[in-house]
Structure 1
Amino acid sequence: MSRQFRLPLHSPPSFAREHFAASPTNAQAIAAIDAWPRWGDGRLALIGAAGAGKTHLARDWALKANAVVVEAANPLAAPLDLAALRGRAVLVDDADRRAQGGHLDDETLFHLINMAGVDGGTLLLTGRLAPVAWDCAVPDLRSRLNALTAAIIDEPDDIVLEAVLRRAFAARAMTPAHDVYPYLLRRIPRSSLEAIAAVDLLDEAASAQGRAITRLLAGEVLAFEGDEGED
């Protein structure tokens, strides 16, 4: 079984589409995003686990659509001016993790959904869970959430994770041994965030010890279970 390892990123990630790794696991979500502005009722929910790439796709869309970005999980964000958002493209990131007492209560989200499709307005919501599983106390909002079209990003496959690893190593001007990639792909958790965290740890260890990035170093630093016999 793989261990989990986490380390904060050293620099902000790029949300450009050319830096997104396309694969069968996210093909449906890409097609749904690219169908904008022809979304049904002007709204779409983009669903995927943490590290699956939903924020990457959503922020890339927001740039193209000149969308207002609402960080639903941020309890310190300023209250929304719904009138100013009428007819605009709006991205609500982490809509299923709306901060308690924050700026996006049930009534506000209900109005945002109703505004989508009016006067050219569009709404993209992201979440880890499907909208039918989101908490809400307003019956009218419940019916709106249940009716949302959802595009799903599945768990990252090896195509996605290898692309993430290669970009992360390249960003640090590091060239690992060729067999490090298949070694890591067999062991790291199925998450882009975990893949980047693994590269961060290897970067730190290689720099501190003056060593090249090899399978041996990866095994020592990341301490994968069941690798006692690996060299």
Structure 2
Amino acid sequence: MAARVQPRQLAFVLPHAESLSRDNFLEGPANAAALALVDSWPDWPNRVMLLAGPEGSGKSHLAAIWAEQAGARSTAAHALTATAVPGALATGALVVEDLNVAGFDERALFHLMNLAREDQAFVLITARVPPAAFQVELRDLRSRLRAVPVVTLLPPDDQLFRALIVKFCADRQLSIDEPVVSYLATRIERSFAAARRAVELLDTAALQLGRPVTRALAAELLRDA
């Protein structure tokens, strides 16, 4: 008689809430300067400030905290247009998210920086790299961007990295114990993005296989990854 094959569960990708409140921000040496900037508002050294850091380093979380404090609106850098600038800056504060090396309207950004200065408004820009790495055609904009003070988020230390793994699991309501945290912390790249991907992988596999998240499951997944 042929053995019965246990069917795998289908894993549906459901949205999960990731808290972006001040109370849920994980502090550490890697983000201390950026958090200090947010907390020091409105006593900023410049009306326009830029947070630079790798994917998942907490830039959006910090921007959300500041937006709550400053009553700021938010826009993606690639969606900013010159005609939209006055409305975007109407509250006197604006978050411009994910300014890439390419893929934004230079004239719109230049208009925004000019208007912010004229109206004494505040702008917080997030980017993965500092403006010096951008290839900007408008010379005046290039000069303005390079004059913007940059606060850099650094790679996480061990304590923050472990805390991030726990937080990403909590965001997904995923139960995890210390052996799993320790295993992941010593086996994956020490970056915010890697921690997020590892937790997503564990969550998806646990649902598909109908198994709890254990060190053994983590070892299987990372071995096959």
TM above 0.5, yes or no, is yes
Aligned 8 A contact 1:168 1:199 in 2: yes
More displaced stretch, 200-209 vs 139-148: 200-209
Is 1:38 aligned to 2:43, yes or no?
yes
Is 1:106 aligned to 2:111, yes or no?
no
Q: Distance in 1 between matches of 2:60 and 2:86?
A: 26
Query: Unpaired runs of 5+ in structure 1?
Result: 1-7, 226-231
Which position in structure 2 is the counterpart of 1:62?
A: 67
Aligned 8 A contact 2:49 2:125 in 1: yes
Which position in structure 1 is the counterpart of 2:204?
A: 204
Q: Distance in 2 between matches of 1:193 and 1:137?
A: 31
Aligned-pair distance for 1:97? Answer: 4.4
Is 1:88 aligned to 2:96, yes or no?
no
Which position in structure 1 is the counterpart of 2:166?
A: 166
Q: TM-score normalised to the size of structure 2?
A: 0.83
Which position in structure 2 is the counterpart of 1:140?
A: 140
Query: Unpaired runs of 5+ in structure 2?
Result: 1-12
User: In structure 2, do the counterparts of structure 1 residues 68 and 62 end up closer, same or farther at CA, with 3 Å as the change threshold?
Assistant: same
Deviations 1:37-86 (A, max 9, x none): 12223110100011111111112211221212120135xx6764333326
SS in 1 for 2:19: coil
Which position in structure 2 is the counterpart of 1:72?
A: 77
Return the letter of the residue paired with 1:35. Answer: S
Aligned 8 A contact 2:19 2:171 in 1: no
Which position in structure 1 is the counterpart of 2:123?
A: 123
User: In structure 2, do the counterparts of structure 1 residues 98 and 56 end up closer, same or farther at CA, with 3 Å as the change threshold?
Assistant: farther
Number of aligned residue pairs: give it: 212
Two-structure CA RMSD over aligned residues (Å): 2.4
Q: Distance in 2 between matches of 1:32 and 1:197?
A: 28
